[in-house]
Amino acid sequence: MATGQILYFVLSAALILAGLAGTVLPALPGVPLVFAGMLLAAWADHFAHVGTFTLIVLGALSLLALAVDFLAGLLGAKRVGASAHALWGAMLGTVVGLFLGLPGIVLGPFLGAVAGELLVGSALGRATHVGIGTWLGLLFGTLAKIALCFTMLGVFALAFVL
């Protein structure tokens, strides 16, 4: 194996690891990074093990992961009747939470949704209910995204081994 090819595989692994971190950290485009790492590894191997069909499956799983992540938060919020302000608050809370470490990442979307709901005049109990529903939707979306990324890793590894 040539030195250049080894560097491509190292870069591929770094992209995949950064992508896996990005499935939890909203600042990183997790799923696209995982897919890019796998595509780079397939290219570095001259598509000898991972071909067109596998890349189409990986691309479809990537799109599904992005869609599920997006829709889960909206459906969680919609299920509890969240206002648009609560959705914007959850998104802003997520971004601010990134700078506060793990507690901020966990609590940011909840607090942002509560604050957004309070801005439109909802009572604290209602705002808390909306915050919990929004947070649960985001949590389930993140869990589904993580599961789909690991499914992608399994498909990729299986294609590489076979």
What CA–CA distance (Å, rounded) separates 127 from 81? 10
Domain residue ranges in the chain: 3-161
Q: Give dist(CA 135, CA 72) in Å, integer.
A: 10
| pLDDT tens for each residue of 46-78 | 999 999 999 999 999 999 998 998 788 778 887
pTM reported for the whole predicted model:
0.82
CA distances from 31 to 4, 90, 155 (A): 25, 21, 14
Q: Collect all residues with Cβ–Cβ distance below 8 Å to 64 and sequence separation of at least 6.
A: 148
SS3 81: coil
- 91-149 pLDDT tens trace: 888 888 878 887 887 888 899 999 999 999 999 999 999 999 988 888 898 899 999 99
